[in-house]
Structure 1
């Protein structure tokens, strides 16, 4: 599954979508402007820290823009949202932040509009599925992914199994894997790291979701209650999710267990391919099973770039972000971390490159993907609440109706509070 990384730069530059930056970097006088960016770390070690990606990109940018310096501080996903929040509260907002949500800052009037920053070709080049999900003019997608069901080919072959297409088949496969001594027949990470993602994937596979057709919270819908009742009774309750309680299993730990060959099945994003390949685990990927067949929608995730108005560096920020979003840089980041490009031209390049065919199944899922309701100012709070509470719904004696109902009420109150 290893992919050749060469030859992409020439292809990207030939696309003709690279932003024109000549003469844009100067501050307009002899003084120098320093832009501060806080970014999330997508690496899993110091060897592939996102700091290295940003350092290289910034070095190239500054070489052509002598009037602008860019300082990038990279933090783990555990810390980055909190760090930006603390900086803003202290009156020391960065010029840019690349984190998970932006709507609460936009609602307070703290962010530049995207149209006031980017050149028209760059703004128009974002993947529509991602910009449609944001429903605001203040967030720029930075990285994206979709989810597929990963399964261990060796374990499935030894057990005589085929990949499941329905929930009943998934449970049946999990029972066989358990009987064969597989540690985690299906890994269900509902720990605090990323429980909102696993939750959303299951809600979608059950025909529900976090919101209804008009964007209002529908967390306690009949479909969602049915989904978590099934998880509680048919997977967790029957010991098919392994020795670690879902409440204590984080996504990173589940991925590491899969890379050790201890997991039969789990919902995963493209980064898991690299982890499993490095450890020699043979795996397959199929769309996430639904109640009676393939789900109508899978979960998509986008992380966001935003720009704060406080320092008044809108022109310089816009110039820098035009550079960030040229195809060469978008593809370099996507390849480094096995993520999907956020621009249409880079996506087209990836789709047509034979060296990128391992990502093709994830690209295929993007047109039908649904993203978090990131345009809602309440989403950051509700996401945090989901991380804290959702695992209770599948615990022994847990009440899906009660837990989902509580989250729904919190969503309504948060929306009312504005």
Structure 2
């Protein structure tokens, strides 16, 4: 998915370049920046890791360039289009490059032990036509954040069902809360909020065999409920959901203006820094905890053109060691993509703040990232989904339009 924002929903600043020098082989890596300031720019993580690797592997140099999520996917595409792709790219989507036969398969590169260590659902999401090209790099899930102070003032308990959520939102509105429930269906990350609600309603973007089912009856019921029971009753705040972006919703939560919203781990640091007392619970489902929550993964991929298969594979085995996976996850409040690092995090008191998200990961369902059509479908969702909950909105009609767009995109994909 070529996007201006990470699939994990983070923005960042432009990074610099890794070190250069003469060596037998120089691996070029382009990576995304997960930091939110120059002080924690991902360039520092990669430079430290690269120097440590080079000290143990003479004859190999790792040249890293880190770019913001606003730029990184475009930078890689420009390099590919110019005929000079990097050896490695850590970005938001891989399927287009896999479909163009530009990538090494994961089992061409990684040791058996490293391949076996990836969490199964993440490895599965990295497949195109049952072959894995996308290597999971960082993961995230969603939970419901709520403002403890506002809940205490209204004598509320966290919701477990949609009806609970609506009742809590009504009570928060009566107390003058600006956004009782923040519903960001704006173009920045509407596909994420949409997917979380589809899952909580018992469906999703696709069925169990991966066919788009966006206009299913369950999905229509979900958005009809949102239109009538939340948005129509003025429980989602002064900004129309179709114009509210995720970053603005997070900012409002950090200002104490939001009672509830779906959030990922980076919101913890933002809210805590602002002095907001918050709690986290599983996202409510229609009748209780849904059978699946939303998970997001960003990807590592290796381009074939440079021909450095052996060196790439050895470097990736190092990148995915338990220590390095944990170091990165802890630095940026993300979830490990390997079983060994996940188990270590689950046993480490220092990672207690990430445990609620880690517990959700085993139940997580990811975007259909292995479909080259997903980028187009995601763009259509961002453009249209806000109309389902607007005054006079037609959820069934909008979902039918999205289904038509998805079916046409998938037909083109299958015709390749």
Matched, 1:406 2:383: no
1:211 aligned onto 2:201: no
Residue 118 of structure 2 corresponds to which residue in structure 1? 126
The more displaced of 357-366 and 336-345 is 357-366
Identify the match of residue 117 of structure 1 among 103, 109, 113: 109
**CA shift for structure 1 position 184:** 1.2
Instruction: Say which is worse superposed, 222-231 or 130-139, in terms of deviation.
Output: 130-139
Q: State the alpha-carbon separation in 1 of the partners of residues 402 and 79 from structure 2.
A: 29
Conserved? CA contact 1:129–1:366, under 8 Å? no
2:74 is paired with a residue whose SS is helix
- For residues 126 and 402 of structure 1, the distance between their equivalents in structure 2, rounded to whole angstroms, comes to 40
Distance 2:115 2:82 in 1: 31
Q: Does 1:86 align with 2:75?
A: no
Give me the whole-angstrom Cα distance separating, in 2, the residues matched to 1:358 and 1:376: 33
Cα distance between partner residues in 2 of 1:50 and 1:388: 31
Separation (CA, whole Å) in 2 of partners of 1:85 and 1:402: 35
Indicate if the aligned counterparts of 1:104 and 1:377 stay in contact, CA closer than 8 A.
Answer: yes
Unaligned runs of 5+ in 1: 1-29
Q: CA deviation at 1:31?
A: 5.1
SS of the aligned residue for 2:362 comes to helix
Instruction: Specify the alignment match of 2:387 in structure 1.
Output: 392
Answer yes or no: is 1:193 the counterpart of 2:185.
no
Please give the residue correspondences for 1:174-185 in structure 2 after superposition, counting only pairs within 5 Å. 174-185=169-180
1:103 is aligned to 95
Q: CA deviation at 1:394?
A: 1.6
- Name the residue aligned to 2:245: 250
SS at 2:310 equivalent: helix
Task: Tell me, yes or no, if the aligned pair for 1:134 and 1:373 is still in contact at 8 Å.
Answer: no
State TM-score, norm by structure 2.
0.90
Alpha-carbon distance in 2 for matches of 1:367, 1:248: 32
Residue 18 of structure 1 is matched in structure 2 by none
Give the one of 317, 328, 333 matched to 2:323.
Answer: 328
2:271 paired residue among 276, 282, 306: 276
Matched, 1:364 2:356: no
Partner residue, 2:15:
none
Cα distance in 1 for partners of 2:312, 2:151 equals: 50
Distance in 2 separating the partners of 1:147 and 1:363? 10
Q: Could you tell me how far apart the structure 1 residues matched to 2:67 and 2:184 are?
A: 23
> What secondary structure, in the 3-state scheme, does the structure 1 residue paired with 2:176 have?
coil
Indicate yes or no: 2:141 matched with 1:141: no
Distance 2:23 2:125 in 1: 39
Aligned-partner Cα distance in 2 for 1:97–1:65: 21
Cα distance in 2 for partners of 1:188, 1:337 equals 25
In structure 1, C-alpha distance between the alignment counterparts of 2:31 and 2:81, rounded to whole Å? 18
Q: For CA contacts below 8 A with separation 6 or more, give which structure has more relative contact order.
A: 1
Unaligned runs of 5+ in 2: 1-21
Structure 1 counterpart of 2:376, from 375, 381, 385: 381
The TM-score with structure 1 as length reference comes to 0.90
Q: Quick check: 1:147–1:298 contact (8 Å CA) kept in 2?
A: yes
1:314 matched to which residue of 2?
A: 309
For 2:63, the equivalent position in structure 1 comes to 71
Aligned residues: 389
Cα separation, 1, equivalents of 2:63 and 2:238: 44
Q: Secondary structure of 1:151's partner?
A: strand
CA distance in structure 2 between the partners assigned to 1:41 and 1:187 by the alignment: 27
- Counterpart pick for 1:338 among 302, 321, 333: 333
Compute the displacement of 1:239 (Å). 1.7
Contact 1:78 1:193 in 2 (8 A): no
Shift of 1:200: 0.4
Tell me: CA distance 1:192–1:206, structure 2 relative to 1, closer, same or farther (3 Å): same
